[in-house]
Amino acid sequence: MSDSTAPLDGPDRPDRTDRPRTVLLRGGEVHSPADPFATAMVVEGGSIAWVGSEGAADSFADGVDEVVRLDGALVTPAFTDSHVHATATGLALTGLDLTGVRSPAELLDRVREYARSRPGDRILLGHGWDASAWPGQRLPSRAELDEAAGRRPLYLTRVDVHSALVTTALLDLVPGTPGVTELPGYTPGAALTGDAHHAVRAVAHASITPAQRTEAQRAALRHAASRGIGTLHECAGPEISSEDDLTGLLELAAAEPGPRVFGYWAEHITSPEGARRVRELGALGAAGDLFADGSLGSHTAHLHEPYADADHRGTGHLDADAVAAHVAACTEAGIQAGFHAIGDAALTAVTEGVRAAAERVGLERVRAARHRVEHAEMLTEATIAAFAELALTASVQPAFDAAWGGENGMYARRLGRERARTLNPYAALLRAGVPLALGSDSPVTPLDPWGTLRAAAFHRTPEHRISVRAAFTAHTRGGWRAIGRDDAGVLVPGAPADYALWRTGDLVVQVPDGRIAAWSTDPRSGTPGLPDLGPDRPLPVCLRTVVGGRTVYEHPNG
């Protein structure tokens, strides 16, 4: 594939002649429903102008500003990650990464080494530990953490970001009365959850300077672009980040070449004034991680029946009445509502609340608003039917199943194998007509679109598997539809020129579940092929990412 000799210009960044540049890509495989056998594409300014065959491309060659020879590369729409936390992702990329740590001793060793390497940091930050498979699930004691950190403030988030390990020095920084040790979620010898966790998180995040925050966000955006991601949905909120964090990210994304960023602000609202504040922040809605409950790994997801390995049902943060008030206020204000809901009791509260809001403001208005639910893991037949009835978008993360599913995974330990097998039922959602949007919840799981598709297609519970094609649609067009845009996420004339080029092997129409009709795998069906994502196959490598006609990532080796 040839290198570009000049940057591609986006719709708001015309070149010096003030004329949109025209680019012809040819000699590859273009994934487009407009032509399942396309090998070429023309981009004019920030839009797709034409998709077609190599022979027809000859007629464009003399009239374009640039010709990109693909040398067999695959061209796809850029991916949309429908749930990310950019600053936390950037800090995880540049900070103490505890992913894969296998014991308390290994975690403490990592902390000691990191503390020595960062003598100037006021608060030490790390992410990614998961004790669910550690011997006895034993956590390091606070005294051990104090020693390893050199008596300095330390904040280490669990992989799901719903609990944290901290040092005494950090607890001492939490202001107010009562102290953090009196807040819900504080238990001696355990990780912090709930209000106690939120209190220490606020102190830890306040230690990050504006320059550090911007650099973390920039690192996250660069990393996303290198994975062929052209759009991110930032799920911010008062219990997760800060207003400055969200507005700073939106300003950075608007000012520098990179992925598009659409923001959500997870604040419960009940009035037009609340909706107006959300708009003033630049958010699309009061959605994202508005917590109806917590997470399974931290035992805080809200269940109808107790956990298999704990004598409680988790914690519900919003009942149906609170959900109804929020959805009604958002619908009447013309913004999206949304919730974080994982456990079956939380999902019941959300669907009952949205239905009550529909009775108040009208079902069609609620459906037209495209309200969304993040994670939506522990669904039942009744809640799936409610999602379809209310046109709720399920913003889901297939990598959760890859990480924690299976007969011996964390889900099975928390819920028992029978309940665990019901989680993340993507095939049932699609059969019911529920809109899907795929994401990572980064830094909970990595920014890895092809890995996400593999996880959906090779779900650990076979009856929940969906085709690679369906997952691809949910990770491209589905993310755009989730923000109310039906004209993007696909390579057809008139669509935004957001695309990625990939080095990959043979293209196939992959249906891991043999119960799906065989016609869809026959070349005569005219279904565009996608890379083979079998578990032992290498994933595609991103060569270039283009957003709005502007190159935002180029592989160093072309």
Predicted pLDDT of residue 122: 87
């819920």: which residue's tokens? Answer: 415
Which run of H or of E encompasses 196?
A: helix 194-206
CB 80 within 8 A of CB 230: yes
CB 265 within 8 A of CB 288: yes
CB 63 within 8 A of CB 72: no
Backbone dihedral angles phi then psi of residue 544, each to the nearest 5 degrees: -160, 145
**Nearest 5°: CA angle at 236, between 230 and 238?**
170
Provide the token pair at 255. 């000012």
CA proximity to 185, closest of 163, 205, 201 = 163
Pairing relation of β-strands 499-503 and 22-26?
unpaired
Q: What are the counts of helices (DSSP H) followed by strands (DSSP E) for the chain? A: 20, 23
The 3-state secondary structure of 25-37, one letter per residue = EECCEECCCCCCC
User: What is the spatial distance between Cα 548 and Cα 214, in angstroms, rounded to a whole number?
Assistant: 23
Which run of H or of E encompasses 310?
A: none
Query: 3-class SS at 414?
Result: helix
User: What is the spatial distance between Cα 217 and Cα 252, in angstroms, rounded to a whole number?
Assistant: 8
Is the C-alpha dihedral spanning 383, 512, 487, 235 positive or negative?
positive
CA proximity to 530, closest of 39, 79, 75 = 75
CB 501 within 8 A of CB 542: yes
CA proximity to 438, closest of 477, 475, 467 = 475
Backbone dihedral angles phi then psi of residue 44, each to the nearest 5 degrees: -120, 115
Predicted pLDDT of residue 376: 98
Q: Max CA-CA distance within the chain? A: 74
């020693």: which residue's tokens? Answer: 147
Look at phi and psi of residue 102 and say left if phi exceeds 0, alpha if psi is from -120 to 50, else beta: alpha
Q: Exposure pattern of 20-57 as b/e (b: 16+ CB <10 Å)?
A: bbbbbbbbbbbbbebbeebbbbbbbbbbbbbbbeeebb
User: What is the spatial distance between Cα 233 and Cα 336, in angstroms, rounded to a whole number?
Assistant: 13
Provide the token pair at 456. 């959906």
Pairing relation of β-strands 22-26 and 66-69?
parallel
Give the residue ranges of the chain where pLDDT is below 50.
2-17, 516-525
User: What is the spatial distance between Cα 456 and Cα 396, in angstroms, rounded to a whole number?
Assistant: 10
pTM: 0.88
